[in-house]
Structure 1
Amino acid sequence: MTEVSEEPAWRQRAVERSTRAAKLRAEQRVQRFLDSAQELIAEKGTTDFTVQEVVDRSKQSLRSFYQHFDGKHELLLALFEDALSKGAAEIRQAAYAKRDPMQRLRVAVEMLYEQSRPNPEVQRPLFNDFALQLLVKHPTEVATAHLPLLTLFSEFIEQAAEAGAVPEGKTRRRASLVMQTVMFTAYTSSVPGGQASPVTSEEVWQFCLGGLCGSPAKPRTSRTTK
């Protein structure tokens, strides 16, 4: 009979401690690269910078950079995902201040609209330039980056359905449609030569509400009317 020798507990603890320390150091290095890239974008007003500039500003090595990123594209993608994740967190916090599921959904729609609107006074190269390039060349990466928002909107629509405020079914698909409507409308409403009166977040909410509940002329409560 073969004896099974278990690894001593002290060895396991030592390895785990070493792994945690290495992970923390890696996270700190990655964050320094991200912060440096963000500073360069803010200064230049564009994503037109080199990897070497990021490395120099972060006071780290080129070798260290390529240990964590395949190149500039992956660095920009990380910044893009981080920005979307923070936006989703802001929406979640504001929406959950409301107890009513439909009010949460409304807050989410209106906040996403405002977050997505181009602001001529604020440079947003990650969204105005890089995001458009991503959409054309790397649609799968765009979908992955938007997962926190998609999960959040699915959650709110599911809650509204459970409360009987909207019909049930195809929650994730409807969440995707709402998000695309909100973000596309936000971008195009500010395009030069567009409408004289930009679309408001209230209008976007009413439009999305009609799509979720059916025709606005036939509210769901009418089904119980005899």
Structure 2
Amino acid sequence: MAQKADQPVSAPSEEPAWKQRAVERSTQAAKRRAEQRVERFLDAAQTIMAEKGTTDFTVQEVVDRSRQSLRSFYQHFDGKHELLLALFEDAMSKSADELRAAAAEKSNPLDRLRVVVEELFESSRPDLTGSQRPLFTDFALRLLVSHPAEMRVANAPLLALFTDLMQELEDANLLRSGFKARRAAALTMQTVMFNAQSSGQEGAHPLTADEIWDFCANGFTLS
């Protein structure tokens, strides 16, 4: 019997709940396996960099160290640059978490900002032996020039932390008139990181964390 023209067409029935649950479990399991494979690649690359003190390694070295396949590597990363970027973003996120925890131990907003400035400076300085934090030295400086958009994404957690701290200063009427929290945060963060990453190039008297804080907090005027 033909359906009447004005009779509503019934909506297709939804998939059974058991099927939805089965698909969801399968998807979650696949996601967990992929995350585990990615972590193994990242751990392998970090171990190699710690041993070499540099980002000068090959994809094959990472594959061999992780005991996974080259095919699996390229299922998750376009190449070495994307792997380094993932490591850099992860390091910056962890650094922001550590600095936020350190700041939380201080009760005064100015003290909170100071501890973040000084600890970020120290942690971002290259080790003259070449064995410490290579991501914060050679790769970070190259990324700043070659991939500024990616650098902004990687720096987002740190910038959010500095912005929060500057907003506290602004709320307490401690931020200089004419400055907005986010702009002051960006200027301060960039000053700290650039000077830290280029530390050692200024001769026999490298900058100290105290000097960086004094400059960021007071500038160079007498007022």
Shorter-chain TM-score bucket reads 0.7 to 0.9
Distance 2:118 2:142 in 1: 26
Deviation at 1:216, TM superposition (A): 5.8
1:22 aligns with 2:56: no
- 1:118 partner letter: P
Q: Is the 8 A contact 1:50 1:72 kept in 2?
A: yes
Q: Which residue is equivalent to 1:201?
A: 209
Task: Give the C-alpha shift of residue 156 in structure 1.
Answer: 0.7
Q: Which shows bigger deviation, 82-91 or 130-139? A: 130-139
Q: Identify the residue that residue 76 of structure 2 maps to in structure 1.
A: 68
CA-atom RMSD, angstroms? Answer: 2.0
Q: For 1:176, which of 170, 183, 186 is the aligned residue?
A: 186
Counterpart Cα distance in 2 of 1:20 and 1:126: 32
Q: Deviations over 1:158-211 (max 9, x none)?
A: 1121122214753222111001111122233422xx253332212211211125
**Structure 2 residue 218 is matched with structure 1 residue 210:** yes
Q: Which residue in 1 is equivalent to 2:4? A: none
Matched residue type, 2:190: Q
Counterpart for residue 91 of structure 2: 83
Which deviations, in whole Å up to 9, do the C-alpha atoms of 1:18-57 show, x marking residues without a partner?
Answer: 2211111110000000111111212222222221221122
Partner of 1:187: 197
Match of 2:151 in 1: 142
Counting aligned pairs with the same residue, the percent is 62
Residues 15, 171 of structure 1: alpha-carbon distance in 2 compared, 3 angstrom cutoff: same
Q: 1:158 corresponds to which letter in structure 2?
A: Q
Taking structure 2 as the reference length, the TM-score comes to 0.87
Residue by residue over 1:71-116, the C-alpha shift from the partner in whole angstroms, topping out at 9 and shown as x without a partner, is 1110111111111111111101100111222111111111111112
Matching of residues 48-59 of structure 1 within 5 Å: 48-59=56-67
- Hey, what does 1:97 align to over in structure 2? 105
Aligned to 1:3: 10
Question: 2:187, 2:109 → 1: CA distance?
Answer: 19
Question: How many residue pairs were aligned?
Answer: 213
* Alpha-carbon contact 1:189-1:195 (below 8 Å) kept: no
Contact 1:150–1:176 (8 Å) recurs in 2: yes
Q: Tell me, what secondary structure is at the counterpart of 2:62? A: helix
- The 1:94/1:157 distance shift into structure 2, 3 A limit, reads same
- Structure 1 residue aligned with 2:123, among 115, 120, 126? 115
SS of the aligned residue for 2:10 comes to: coil
Aligned to 1:221: none
